[in-house]
Amino acid sequence: MKQSVSLVALRCPHCDTPITAGSSEYAWKCGQCGQGILLNKEKTLKEIMISYQQPAHEDSPGCPYWVLEVSVQFQGAHLPANRKEELTQFWQNLHKFFIPAFEMGPVERIQRSTALLRTPPIPISVESYQFRPVVLSPRDLPVYVEAVVLQMEAERQDDLKHLIFDLQLSEADLWVLPD
């Protein structure tokens, strides 16, 4: 089956201002009213909230991240009993995942996400500022979340041989963090 190409009018759903966008971008900030905008899976534009943290330098663009809460339920893990308890204890609470939404390779994206899972940034809301293009679709987030969970568990010094788990993901928010 051939996929057809469809064009979406990129106009802010809040103020109807045209949005300047690259061909591989999925989210923007309206230059007129500042509204966050997402091109969703239905190929329509949806208003979204964008949270900003203080930039390191005034003139440097921020780095966009998809942020979502994730619940991990393990169905099976082949581990010694004491290690299984450690695994369950760590993952029993919701975790906030930060998945880089800007241009980078998949390995670096997983490494950054894993580091931010271990040491999440503290939310401090500031005025909006420019950020790098958002080139990762929210539809791709489950794959990266799964890879981060596997990376975290692969780094443990245990005898894990087999792991089966389910993920429950919240809707993603867009955060802009300093570079």
pLDDT tens, N- to C-terminus, the chain (179 residues): 566 666 667 899 999 999 988 889 999 999 999 999 999 888 889 999 999 988 877 788 999 999 999 998 877 666 666 666 777 778 888 999 999 999 999 999 999 999 999 999 987 788 888 999 999 999 999 999 999 998 988 887 666 666 778 899 999 999 999 98
Domain limits for position 35: 7-48
Q: Is residue 72 part of a domain?
A: yes
Q: Are 10 and 44 spatial neighbours (Cβ–Cβ below 8 Å)? A: no
Q: Are residues 44 and 59 in the same domain?
A: no
Is residue 54, in this structure, part of any structural domain at all?
A: yes
| Its pTM surpasses 0.95 | no
If asked whether residues 36 and 80 sit together in one domain, one would say no
176, 143, 174, 141: which is closest to 41 by C-alpha? 141
Q: Are residues 95 and 167 in the same domain?
A: yes
Question: How many domains does the chain divide into?
Answer: 2
Domain identity same for 74 and 160: yes
* 1 within domain boundaries: no
